Structure 1
Amino acid sequence: MFIDRDSYRRIVDDLYDGLYLVDRNRVIQYWNKAAERISGFTAAEVIGKSCSDNILTHVDRDGNTLCKGMCPLAMTIADGKTREAEVFLHHKEGYRMPVSVRVNTLTDADGNVIGGVELFTSRSSSRSIERRIRDLEKKAFYDNLTRLANRNCVENELQIRFEEQKRLGVSFGILFMDIDHFKEFNDTYGHDVGDLVLRFVADTLVKNARPSDLIGRWGGEEFIGILRNVTHENLEILGNRLRVLIENAYITLKTEQLHVSISVGATLMLDNDSSDTLLKRADMLLYESKRRGRNCLTIG
């Protein structure tokens, strides 16, 4: 059966996964509809540009930038081997999103490598997030600006976690997070950019949290994460992962890239804790991170 070129294009555009094609210099030649939906960048914005031109700028779990070096796609073009990887792409709105990528070569009729193809799929728990947003809307327990759980919802969730720990022995911990130098963003760029920074941090936190975690806005530029069933080590690893992802993401303004960092206080619930003592300890640990120079996590 013969399938014409237009039919192939429709099939590729209808894929659920993002797909793009590059030449040997990693200049983008094709960008499907799913790539637009997942990344926020339209085909018109990226075709003819290099992967590393402030587009996806993949980083790994440790925050290392991949696009300006030998990323999976570059390595596959170089050696012809297919690869799979889990990375974090830069969304057009600034936040980091976890994706699974699969890369392969493009060859001409003689088998010569002429470029590469990358297929990428979002790994964020979007459906779980959407269900949680609908639940929060029903209870009026969400923050209008960031669309995260608000302070009332966080306080309710803490009580539920305390009861769960007493009845079932399920441990939990909290991350108390604060945007570094937030007042300077407002003073320098205005409150609209300040709101953009808050949404950017909120999106990065919630899209990279586990489905069982709750991320909420405590107030102002402060956020709280409630993480179920974690150890001291897990809590530190998860908290630092979120911190590093924010540090290595950016918001693109007209003439510059705006980088943001957070300071974090992390602690597990203790047997004799109340909400007040737990939150007070997390707050003290957060300010210890500020005292140490910001953009770090202090656990205790």
Structure 2
Amino acid sequence: MVYDESLVQLMSSLDSGVYFVDRKRRIFFWNKAAEFLTGYSGERVVGSSCSENILRHISAEGVELCVQGCPLAGTIIDGRVRRTEVYMHHRNGQRLPVTVWAAPLTDASGQTIGAIEMFTDQGDRGSLLRELEKLRHEALADPLTGLGNRRYLQIVMETRLESVEKGGEAFGLFMADIDHFKKVNDVHGHNIGDRVLTMVATTLGSAVRPLDAAVRWGGEEFILVCPKVPPKALGEIAERLRLLVEHCWLELEDTSLLRVTISLGATRARRGDTLENLVARADACLYRAKNSGRNRWVLDE
């Protein structure tokens, strides 16, 4: 692949985020779609490395790819095209699932001078926006975070619990709480607190499947309802949620980074359950996670 002006024009017109790096992984091109998908302007990122608190891709297992397994670094070394699914850091702090392609960037003589990364949002943004608009219209969405509210959870649970009663596969319910959130408000103020709530809510909502339900339960507590979750998957999902929030941060006006963690409790539905006793079991597990040191999860045995 040869770097020239026609290539730049083509990449500038794409809906996918695209950026070019040199052999030292310094960014020298950043298209408009990359600005839209990440929240970072070209002026902010050109000349810096993507690992400098910009994208900081991590895997579903929490591995920081800038440190271990960077697709751009591998492509610069061996010239191979790579595709991977990662969680990207957005300027607003949250983690978002994206599919990434890395390809070598060569000069006219065929020498590798860097690499190109293209990334695209894994979610159907148009469908998501339409659904959120519908929720707002029906007063089922939390106005701050955009997640469902308690009424939305009640509607979802009626359907899920009815299915379990009829012999359908059990679902998992996760309750998450932001650790030391009162301190965030006390130290940084409620505006920053609201940004933290939105960051965590967006990360949690992006970490689950389209048919799962993500709800703001109240304050700094969230509930996620995930159908067709076998017992062994509860811990895997809880750990993924914990890791993704742990790898989020907000960049404050003084350029310092504000990070938070969550604690989680999780349980599976069974016949005879109600919303109230399911939430009570998950809340008891959450309480145990908090008392065990926070930034961890506990399952209902």
TM value normalised by structure 2: 0.94
Please say if 1:274 is aligned against 2:274: yes
> Unpaired runs of 5+ in structure 1?
none
Contact 2:59 2:87 (C-alpha < 8 Å) held by counterparts: yes
Contact 1:124 1:208 (C-alpha < 8 Å) held by counterparts: no
Closer, same or farther in 2 for the Cα pair 1:41/1:57, shift >3 Å? same
Alignment-mate amino acid for residue 73 of structure 1: L
**Cα deviations across residues 80-128 of structure 1 (Å, max 9, x unaligned)?**
2221111111101110011111111111222211111111111134344
Secondary structure, aligned partner of 1:285: helix
Secondary structure, aligned partner of 1:54: coil
Contact 1:83 1:103 (C-alpha < 8 Å) held by counterparts: yes
Report the counterpart of residue 86 of structure 2 in structure 1.
87
1:61 Cα deviation from its structure 2 partner: 1.4
Please say if 1:195 is aligned against 2:194: yes
CA distance in 2: counterparts of 1:140 and 1:175, whole angstroms: 23
Please say if 1:180 is aligned against 2:168: no
Pairwise mapping of residues 146-157 of structure 1 onto structure 2 (< 5 A)?
146-157=145-156
Closer, same or farther in 2 for the Cα pair 1:286/1:125, shift >3 Å? farther
Secondary structure, aligned partner of 1:118: strand
Closer, same or farther in 2 for the Cα pair 1:287/1:193, shift >3 Å? same
**Cα deviations across residues 9-55 of structure 1 (Å, max 9, x unaligned)?**
44321212111101111010101111111111111111111111111
Contact 1:215 1:223 (C-alpha < 8 Å) held by counterparts: yes
Report the counterpart of residue 115 of structure 1 in structure 2.
114
Pairwise mapping of residues 222-261 of structure 1 onto structure 2 (< 5 A)?
222-255=221-254, 256-261=256-261
Report the counterpart of residue 126 of structure 1 in structure 2.
125
Higher alpha-carbon deviation: 62-71 or 135-144? 62-71
Report the counterpart of residue 163 of structure 1 in structure 2.
162
1:272 Cα deviation from its structure 2 partner: 2.6
Report the counterpart of residue 291 of structure 2 in structure 1.
291
**Cα deviations across residues 151-194 of structure 1 (Å, max 9, x unaligned)?**
12112221221112223613211001100000000001011111
CA distance in 2: counterparts of 1:32 and 1:127, whole angstroms: 21
Report the counterpart of residue 75 of structure 1 in structure 2.
74
CA distance in 2: counterparts of 1:163 and 1:109, whole angstroms: 64
CA distance in 2: counterparts of 1:217 and 1:198, whole angstroms: 9
Q: How many residues align?
A: 296
TM value normalised by structure 1: 0.94
Structure 1 ranges of 4+ moved more than 6 A: none
Report the counterpart of residue 221 of structure 1 in structure 2.
220
Identity of aligned residues (%): 43
Contact 1:125 1:210 (C-alpha < 8 Å) held by counterparts: no
Report the counterpart of residue 264 of structure 1 in structure 2.
264
> Unpaired runs of 5+ in structure 2?
none
